[in-house]
Structure 1
């Protein structure tokens, strides 16, 4: 476990930094750095187990007066205090109490883990950057309120853009490119996964093929007919969809030679409609929709509880040593007549113990899901662009006990944490999403060629 030290700002102008005796460098330390700012100063050892910086140094480094224990990194003759973590997003408002609108509470909770991590995180957008000064007017959550401090560019940036639309904005793309290329700042969790892209990349790995249901971009009615014959039902989903929106389940009844479509209307009503042919179903349900933006996926006969299908949400995170670990696991039970288990479709979040009271069965389910999640996390990291630090998986388990991947999300939603019994998982996922910044900062110092390859 890495050590972090409490930071004390001394109310004098001695231009000095005092470091604990247990912190030893191979060469004499002559510089101190915070974020991308650094300056020459006198650095001395002292007996106390804290870092002390004089007020004039804090002002020059633009070190905010926030009491958070920090990690200390040594790079040749420089002492780096960090990590300073910039959380990049959009959707800011002029209201001081809710500066990021409805997501203000989420960000407040995310930033509140700073002391347990030993990092100093802040939220910012494109409009908060002072390019000429190399600083950012960052939003910090401190003492139960939002406060703005001007700080240097951060050591690492955590991408929390809210949707694909914001991600496509030219000015936001340019910010990302400039901070990564010109300032060599590691940027983690960039981009939203594209469902078919993920499937095609994972398909190339034999060791995880068993988890992948047959999935194709829409090509013809005859392919859907063939898949219905093979599996009994299929799902048609938007390639870039989220929150279960736009998902349709098509079922084929061999005895009556009829087709059914289950879906959710925009008003929230769940529908199940019968058709005599696949053509009439497709023409009625998907009239005016671009089927080239849809994918067709094998239906799975899922485990059920009280006659309702169950699937599972697993979060994985990279920790402060750069290792993948499972950080949350929950069951999602479908609402009555719902095509998905999403909460906004009437789904209910439960702990694994609530769904599987048997200790033996629960342990077996957890082990299977954990194994699948960790294997898939490593493969996604190898096959996708950018630095990935967290993933949310939606898995199903069929009646034979096989695990199936339905979806992988680079920016997983947090609706499962509305269940109060998942409070510890909620905290752990937030903590780890920032703890990974410690690892990235250290790697950017010791092995930048691995980070920026």
Structure 2
């Protein structure tokens, strides 16, 4: 049975151990009253998310404003003059669960909607890590997360990137290589992991940032890929994985 790793903190630490990948991971810490305050002072905009969770549930965008602070959960934003008032309000949502705070990356947009990329990486039947698919996810209007299960729209990666660069294939090859290295890093840290999904954000300089690593990524979003061979290959590898 392929191994599932739930802790976002442990997965981030595993990726950070690879020096070639560490430059692609936004600064991340466990959230506390102090760490969130320090991150806001340093980056002005951050994301906080449950250490254990999926589909973007519980993710909040927190930022400094000209008159204080603001955080957004779902489509609702709240403003505060004082940091402590905001933090107490956030705690009502976190409900005692462990949260992480991460440097905020300003996502590229397509037709006014923020987007990120999902990179599917699998251990092939020949036991070689391989990036088997890359697809884009555009956030629903007013949402801060791009997840399909939170109303996001699946869009071809080359379509999303083509409005920002004329080197689309080169960028996709870069992400593919990054995926292979991330797969190997995860397998070293967690023997038994045989597939991962990387959530990649690109900033305005087209620097790729690994926002999260999933060890049970949803393959079915690749049904919407323009090349049907991509989904077929992903499912063939999953089937082979089950029979290891």
Question: What TM-score comes out, normalization by structure 2 length?
Answer: 0.91
In structure 1, runs of 5+ residues without a counterpart are 1-158, 160-188, 265-269, 441-453
- CA deviation after TM superposition for structure 1 residue 436, in Å: 4.3
Report how many aligned residue pairs link the two structures.
243
- CA deviation after TM superposition for structure 1 residue 288, in Å: 6.6
Q: Which residue of 1 aligns with 2:177?
A: 371
Q: Which residue of 2 aligns with 1:201?
A: 14
1:339 and 2:151 equivalent? no
Change (3 A) 1:429 1:201: same
In structure 2, runs of 5+ residues without a counterpart are none
Which runs of at least 4 in structure 1 moved beyond 6 Å after TM superposition?
none
Q: Which residue of 1 aligns with 2:68?
A: 258
Q: Larger RCO: Structure 1 or Structure 2 (Cα < 8 Å, ≥ 6 residues apart)?
A: 2
User: Helix, strand or coil: the match of 2:42?
Assistant: helix
Q: Which residue of 1 aligns with 2:56?
A: 244
Question: Does the Cα contact within 8 Å between 1:317 and 1:326 map onto a contact in 2?
Answer: yes
1:301 and 2:106 equivalent? yes
User: Helix, strand or coil: the match of 2:206?
Assistant: coil
| Larger radius of gyration between Structure 1 and Structure 2 | 1
In the TM superposition, what whole-angstrom CA distance separates every residue of 1:150-194 from its partner, at most 9, and x where no partner exists?
A: xxxxxxxxx3xxxxxxxxxxxxxxxxxxxxxxxxxxxxx122331
Q: Which residue of 2 aligns with 1:356?
A: 161
- Map 1:7-406 onto structure 2 (within 5 A): 159=1, 189-220=2-33, 222-253=34-65, 256-264=66-74, 270-287=75-92, 289-291=94-96, 293-357=98-162, 360-384=166-190, 386-406=191-211
User: Helix, strand or coil: the match of 1:321?
Assistant: coil
Question: What TM-score comes out, normalization by structure 1 length?
Answer: 0.51
Distance 1:428 1:274 in 2: 47
User: Helix, strand or coil: the match of 1:241?
Assistant: coil
Distance 2:115 2:93 in 1: 32
Superposed CA RMSD in Å reads 2.1
- CA deviation after TM superposition for structure 1 residue 353, in Å: 2.6
Question: Does the Cα contact within 8 Å between 2:133 and 2:222 map onto a contact in 1?
Answer: no
User: Helix, strand or coil: the match of 1:211?
Assistant: coil
1:428 and 2:233 equivalent? yes
